[in-house]
Amino acid sequence: MDMQGNRVDSDRKPSSEWGMHRIFYDRREDIDAVVHTHSTYCTAIATLRQSLPASNYLVAFSGKDVRCAEYQTFGTEKLAESAFEAMRDRRAVLLANHGLLTGAGTLSAAFNIAEQIEHCAKIHCISSSFGDPLILSDEEMNLMKEKFKTYGQPVTY
């Protein structure tokens, strides 16, 4: 589909969430790909309407944490705006009572962020069942963001 919502190359109806994708393409120069999932652990945290704190260093794939956007009905412009606002300065956002959205420069990078954040959400949920996870400092998370620039195989985020 094009940026106006017109079907270009399929007989299939576009996702009801196409506006949530478009808002990032329109307003964030650093995002050329968006991944939206209903992954189990991210959705569990989003159902609590909580953010995912830096209980694991891999949260830095998003930023210093993953905020939870205010609840809005799926497929609406209000949801797109809520997600956009909550994802400022981040690469991921939890959608209240809904799921996860990530964005990056490439589809593989956006998918990688979604995988890493789901892993962190799982670890956070499990560790929370035993007690209160210890949260890494903002300074440590800033260091992780820098280290991730050369972490593993080069990927454009």
The residues assigned a catalytic role are: 17
CA–CA distances in Å: residue 76 to residues 17, 20, 73: 8, 8, 6
Name residue, tokens 């705006």: 81
Distance separating alpha carbons of residues 48 and 25, to the nearest angstrom: 28
Distance separating alpha carbons of residues 54 and 61, to the nearest angstrom: 11
Locate the DSSP E strands across the chain.
Answer: 33-37, 68-69, 92-95, 99-104
**Token pair of 130, please?**
């035993």
Using alpha carbons only, how large is the chain's radius of gyration in Å? Answer: 16
Distance separating alpha carbons of residues 13 and 64, to the nearest angstrom: 36
